[in-house]
Structures are given as structure tokens and as C-alpha cells.
């Protein structure tokens, strides 16, 4: 305790203990050190053994080389400065804007009024209608705008849903491990219980329903009131996608135990192998076959503009759709979101553009398609390069959450520094190569296993080679 602490209202010992408990490794000490290295390099420092920091700790495509989609940003420029719409000829003939850009901007302005005005609490009605049409086309089932809530990124949607679900310190939520640490951090803040179920590394990090059932039973036996299950599909950090059978098994289990299904589907367009199946489409198919049995399944599915080919993290946009929720509960959700007034309106507009991009035959379509496909194949190429690199690494498994098996000497060295072994490894990796990853412990991992998570957004693949070279040297040092 510092000498002055007793003179203040707040000290580390008397603030909200749940804030203290919350862990968020994606932007923790390692990330802070990488920012220091970045600042050093920017000042022309040449002491470091690398000349570039690679932020593979967080999916932030536009900080790296991913260019925004032209159609999206042209529309946004008009929304920010509507007087440009009075100069259509300049836009069309001198600035390369197409007529569909202008038409969309006019429509969005009519819908939101001004992007500087608060929208309705759950989002601008016209934009929610667009999202509903997108969901209908994606799933082949109706969607109702009143069940759609626009949010400031998916994080804010998760925060809303967990706030409503977590009724007491006994409330438990099933969360896949490894997971994106938002879920564990939010549950800590809400003083509720994270009920971990382990994904199966031997089956490409698949969701094993038996593991879910086991985790549920163990929690219930310990007195936990398990109320919901989180699925990250496709998975973060593992990249695995759920099959229709897996999804059905989860829904069956949710019916049996009356669990809210929270389907985090923000990576729905990042599928490089196999196919994405939405929880909603599988649920509606089941309901078609047996309406009575499935009619009360509570599903919340989340999406975001931060991921995929859109990659607009900084704009903080997203939405969630509710199916089967009690109307009285939905009223409370509405009240909760209204306390923070509304999601950023320009982010809401980007949600609209994401779900309703240019269509074949429209003036902006060709460029849109070209940019979209270019980003997709770039991501695919880097995913493959990392996959291949990790396969070659001593003790390394595949996937972008690779296992590392560290020698005993390294584990002891880590202990001496007061760090978990994978954390120790990640710090050494950063110091040696400038590549910032996240230690597996930040995402959760089975006991006695070690991993790290890396994104594959950084430009080029040269830095992947830096990782394998470091790994070799590290293993030799501690052998």
C-alpha cells in the first residue's frame, strides 16, 4: 500500500473487488509493453532486435494493412457532411462516387435524420428493418425488427445480455474454453460464475456436447444456477465452426435444461474451410418440425462490423437478435440499453451497409466484390501460412491457438519471474521479435497445457518466420 493511500477515498484495497478480479489479457501488460516498443521505434530508436512491432494480440485489421471497403466509406463521408449531396456532378464526375453511393446516403440520412442525433434506444428503425431483411435472406426464415437491438460492437451486446441474465452470485453461464476473454471478464464484473466447458483440441477445437453436459452437471452439483450457454461460432481463438449436428445437440440440451443460448456469430464470414450455419436457421428448422417442443428456446445471436471483410472495429457497431424471449424480459433489455442512450449512429449506418452491400448490376458492385474477395483471399493466405508454420514447430499443433510444450527449464525460469510459463514465452517472443501474441492463459486452457493465440491479420508472412525462428532458439536455450 502506498504511503498516501490512507488519505484517499479509493485504494486498490477498497475499490470494487469484481473490477479487480476481472482479467483481460488481450490488452494487458504484454500489450502495454508492445506499445512501448512501438513508440520507441517511432522515435527512431535502433536498440531493439526488430524494426517493426506486429500486433497479433488483437484483431485490428485497419491498424495493419486492411483497406476499408470503398462503398462503405464513400457513403459515410456523405453522412458526415451532407452538403456534399448538393454537388452531385462533382461527386460523380470528379471524385469517383457512383449513383448508388449517393442514393444510399440519402436514404440513410432520411432514416437517421442526422448522424449527430441520438437514435431510438435500440437503434434507428429503418436500419433494424434492413438487418431483419438480411437475416431473412441468410436463414430463409422471418425476422422481426422489434427483436433486433443495435449495439456499440458485439462487446456491448454481450454486456447487455449478461447484465440481464446474471441475477445473483449463484448464476452460472457456460463459456467455451479457450474463449475470447470478454466473457470471463464480464462475468467477473457481474459477480456471476463462469462455468467453463473445454473445447476438444484433438477434434480441431470442436464443441463436444458431452463436455458441455459434464461441465453443467458439475456446476449444478456445486450449487450453481446455470442459466445460459455461450457458443462462439466460428470460434475465437480457435477458428473452429460448428456443424448443424453440433448446433442441434446444443439446442436440445438448452431445451432440456432451459438455458438461454448466446450465439456469438461475429466471425460468420471468416470461414475458410467448411460452412457457417447460424443458430437461428437451425432453431427455426427444428421448430418447423416440432413447434411445441422448441417454441420457448431463448436465442440471442450477435454480430459485429469489426470482423470479417468489413473490419471496422473503430466504428463500434453491431447488433443482436432475440428469439423466444419473454416480452417482459425484452422490455427490461430495452430499458437497460436506453440507459446508455444509443449505439454510435455512424456505426449503426455501417451495420446497414454491411448487411445490405451493393448487389450485382449496381454501379458500385464490381469494385465492392473485388475489394471483398481481395481481403478474403489475403486472410486465407495468411491463415494458411501460419497453419503451416505451426505444424513445423517443435511440439506445436495446428490452428491459430497452437499448443506449445515447454521444457522444464523454461517452466522454472518462468516461475522465477513470477509468470505463467506461456506468459513467459509470450514476453520472450515479443522482446526478441516484436510480435505481440496473447498467452493461452488469457483465454483459458486445460490444466497442464500451454498455448498462445495469434491473429493472422498482419501484412505479409515474413513475421511468421520470425516466430518459428524464435521458437527454435527458445527451445535450444532451455533444453
- Looking only at residues 161 through 190 of this chain, which bind a second copy when binding is defined by CB under 8 A? 163-167, 182, 185-186, 189-190
Q: Which residues of 47-84 are buried (b: 16+ CB within 10 A; e: fewer)?
A: eeebebbbbbbebbbeebebebbbbbebbbebbeeeeb
Q: Using only the alpha carbons of the chain, give its radius of gyration.
A: 24
**According to CB under 8 A, which one of 36, 99, 103, 114 is a site residue for a second copy?**
114
Distance of CA 169 to the CA centre of its chain: 26
When asked if residue 27 is in the footprint of a second copy (CB under 8 A), the reply is: yes
When asked if residue 15 is in the footprint of a second copy (CB under 8 A), the reply is: yes
**According to CB under 8 A, which one of 36, 88, 99, 117 is a site residue for a second copy?**
117
When asked if residue 44 is in the footprint of a second copy (CB under 8 A), the reply is: no
When asked if residue 159 is in the footprint of a second copy (CB under 8 A), the reply is: yes
Secondary structure tally for the chain: helices H, strands E = 18, 11
275-334: contacts with a second copy (CB under 8 A): 295-296, 298, 311-316, 324-329, 332
When asked if residue 371 is in the footprint of a second copy (CB under 8 A), the reply is: no
Closer to a second copy by CB, 189 or 475: give it: 189
When asked if residue 19 is in the footprint of a second copy (CB under 8 A), the reply is: yes
Dmax (CA) of the chain:
70
Look at residues 63, 35, 52, 61 and name the one whose alpha carbon lies nearest to residue 457. 61
Task: Tell me how far, at minimum, the Cβ of 93 lies from a second copy, in Å.
Answer: 10
Task: Tell me how far, at minimum, the Cβ of 396 lies from a second copy, in Å.
Answer: 28
Cα 153 to Cα 304: distance, rounded to the nearest angstrom: 6
Look at residues 169, 211, 214, 207 and name the one whose alpha carbon lies nearest to residue 189. 169
Task: Tell me how far, at minimum, the Cβ of 375 lies from a second copy, in Å.
Answer: 12
CA atoms within 13 Å, Cβ hemisphere of 199: 30
Cα 398 to Cα 43: distance, rounded to the nearest angstrom: 37
CA dihedral 389, 180, 445, 456 (to 10 degrees): 0
CA atoms within 13 Å, Cβ hemisphere of 147: 19
Q: Work out the number of other CB atoms within 10 angstroms of the CB of residue 123.
A: 26
Count the site residues for a second copy by CB under 8 A: 101
Window contacting a second copy (CB under 8 A); options: 3-11, 201-209, 372-380, 410-418: 3-11
Locate 170 and state its grid cell.
Answer: 449463484
Task: Tell me how far, at minimum, the Cβ of 284 lies from a second copy, in Å.
Answer: 17
Cα 348 to Cα 410: distance, rounded to the nearest angstrom: 48
Closer to a second copy by CB, 50 or 336: give it: 336
The answer to whether the CB of 410 falls within 8 A of the CB of 417 is: no
Phi, psi of 215 (to 5 degrees): -65, -40
When asked if residue 99 is in the footprint of a second copy (CB under 8 A), the reply is: no
Task: Tell me how far, at minimum, the Cβ of 82 lies from a second copy, in Å.
Answer: 8
Supply the DSSP string of 171-236, one letter for each residue: EEEEEEES--THHHHHHHHTT-EEEEEE-BGGGTTB--HHHHHHHHHHHHHTT-EEEEEEEESS-T
Cα 258 to Cα 134: distance, rounded to the nearest angstrom: 28
When asked if residue 346 is in the footprint of a second copy (CB under 8 A), the reply is: yes
Cα 123 to Cα 127: distance, rounded to the nearest angstrom: 7
When asked if residue 203 is in the footprint of a second copy (CB under 8 A), the reply is: no
Window contacting a second copy (CB under 8 A); options: 154-162, 413-421, 428-436, 463-471: 154-162
Task: Tell me how far, at minimum, the Cβ of 468 lies from a second copy, in Å.
Answer: 27
**According to CB under 8 A, which one of 240, 249, 343, 379 is a site residue for a second copy?**
343
Task: Tell me how far, at minimum, the Cβ of 192 lies from a second copy, in Å.
Answer: 9
When asked if residue 374 is in the footprint of a second copy (CB under 8 A), the reply is: no
When asked if residue 94 is in the footprint of a second copy (CB under 8 A), the reply is: yes
Task: Tell me how far, at minimum, the Cβ of 361 lies from a second copy, in Å.
Answer: 24
Site string for a second copy, 45-84 (x = CB under 8 A): -------------x-xxxx----x-x--xx-xxxxxx-xx
Task: Tell me how far, at minimum, the Cβ of 346 lies from a second copy, in Å.
Answer: 6
Give the three-state DSSP class for 117. Answer: coil
Give the three-state DSSP class for 305. Answer: coil
Q: Work out the number of other CB atoms within 10 angstroms of the CB of residue 242.
A: 24
Task: Tell me how far, at minimum, the Cβ of 228 lies from a second copy, in Å.
Answer: 7
Closer to a second copy by CB, 120 or 411: give it: 120
419-478: contacts with a second copy (CB under 8 A): none
Q: Work out the number of other CB atoms within 10 angstroms of the CB of residue 16.
A: 11
Task: Tell me how far, at minimum, the Cβ of 207 lies from a second copy, in Å.
Answer: 19
When asked if residue 365 is in the footprint of a second copy (CB under 8 A), the reply is: no
Site string for a second copy, 220-259 (x = CB under 8 A): -------xx-----------------------------xx
**According to CB under 8 A, which one of 344, 396, 402, 444 is a site residue for a second copy?**
344
Closer to a second copy by CB, 130 or 241: give it: 130
Amino acid at each position: 500500500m502506498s504511503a498516501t493511500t490512507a488519505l484517499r477515498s479509493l485504494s486498490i484495497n477498497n475499490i470494487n473487488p469484481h473490477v479487480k478480479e476481472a482479467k483481460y489479457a488481450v490488452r494487458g501488460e504484454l500489450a502495454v509493453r508492445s506499445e512501448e516498443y512501438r513508440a520507441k521505434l517511432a522515435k527512431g530508436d535502433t536498440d531493439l532486435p526488430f524494426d517493426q512491432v506486429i500486433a497479433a494480440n488483437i484483431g485490428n485489421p485497419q491498424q495493419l494493412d486492411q483497406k476499408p471497403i470503398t462503398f462503405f466509406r464513400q457513403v459515410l463521408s456523405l453522412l458526415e457532411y451532407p452538403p456534399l449531396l448538393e454537388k452531385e456532378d462533382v461527386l460523380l464526375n470528379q471524385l469517383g462516387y457512383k449513383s448508388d453511393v449517393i442514393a444510399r446516403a440519402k436514404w440513410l440520412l432520411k432514416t437517421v435524420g442526422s448522424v449527430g442525433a441520438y437514435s431510438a434506444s435500440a437503434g434507428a428503425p429503418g436500419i433494424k428493418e434492413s438487418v431483419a431483411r438480411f437475416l431473412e435472406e441468410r436463414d430463409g426464415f422471418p425476422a422481426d425488427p422489434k427483436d433486433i437491438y443495435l449495439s456499440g460492437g458485439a462487446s456491448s451486446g454481450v454486456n447487455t445480455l449478461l447484465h440481464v441474465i446474471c441475477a445473483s452470485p449463484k448464476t452460472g453461464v457456460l463459456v467455451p474454453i479457450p474463449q475470447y476473454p470478454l466473457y470471463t471478464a464480464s462475468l467477473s464484473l457481474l459477480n456471476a460464475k463462469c462455468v467453463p466447458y473445454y473445447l476438444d483440441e484433438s477434434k480441431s477445437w470442436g464443441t463436444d456436447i458431452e463436455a458441455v453436459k459434464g461441465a453443467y452437471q458439475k456446476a449444478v452439483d456445486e450449487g450453481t444456477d446455470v442459466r445460459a450457454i455461450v457458443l462462439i461460432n466460428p470460434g475465437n481463438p480457435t477458428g473452429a465452426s460448428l456443424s448443424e449436428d453440433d448446433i442441434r445437440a446444443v439446442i436440445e440440451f438448452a431445451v432440456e435444461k432451459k438455458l438461454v443460448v448466446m450465439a456469438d456469430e461475429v466471425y460468420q464470414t471468416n470461414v475458410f474451410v467448411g460452412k457457417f450455419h447460424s443458430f437461428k436457421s437451425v432453431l427455426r428448422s427444428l421448430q418447423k418440425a416440432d413447434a411445441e417442443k422448441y417454441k420457448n428456446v431463448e436465442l440471442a445471436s450477435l454480430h459485429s462490423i469489426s470482423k470479417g471483410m468489413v473490419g471496422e472495429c473503430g466504428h463500434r457497431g453491431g447488433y443482436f437478435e432475440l428469439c423466444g424471449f419473454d416480452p417482459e424480459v425484452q422490455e427490461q433489455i430495452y430499458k437497460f440499453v436506453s440507459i446508455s442512450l444509443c449505439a454510435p449512429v455512424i456505426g449503426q449506418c455501417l451495420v446497414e451497409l454491411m448487411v445490405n452491400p451493393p448487389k450485382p448490376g449496381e454501379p458500385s458492385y464490381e469494385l465492392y466484390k473485388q475489394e471483398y474477395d481481395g481481403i478474403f483471399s489475403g486472410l486465407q493466405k495468411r491463415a494458411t501460412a501460419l497453419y503451416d508454420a505451426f505444424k513445423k514447430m517443435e511440439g506445436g499443433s495446428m490452428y491459430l491457438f497452437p499448443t506449445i510444450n515447454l521444457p522444464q527449464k523454461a517452466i522454472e525460469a518462468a516461475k522465477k519471474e513470477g509468470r505463467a510459463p506461456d506468459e513467459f514465452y509470450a514476453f520472450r517472443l515479443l522482446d526478441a521479435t516484436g510480435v505481440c501474441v496473447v498467452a493461452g492463459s488469457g483465454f483459458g486452457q486445460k490444466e497442464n497445457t500451454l498455448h498462445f493465440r495469434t491473429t493472422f491479420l498482419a501484412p505479409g508472412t515474413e513475421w511468421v518466420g520470425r516466430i518459428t525462428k524464435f521458437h527454435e532458439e527458445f527451445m535450444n536455450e532451455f533444453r
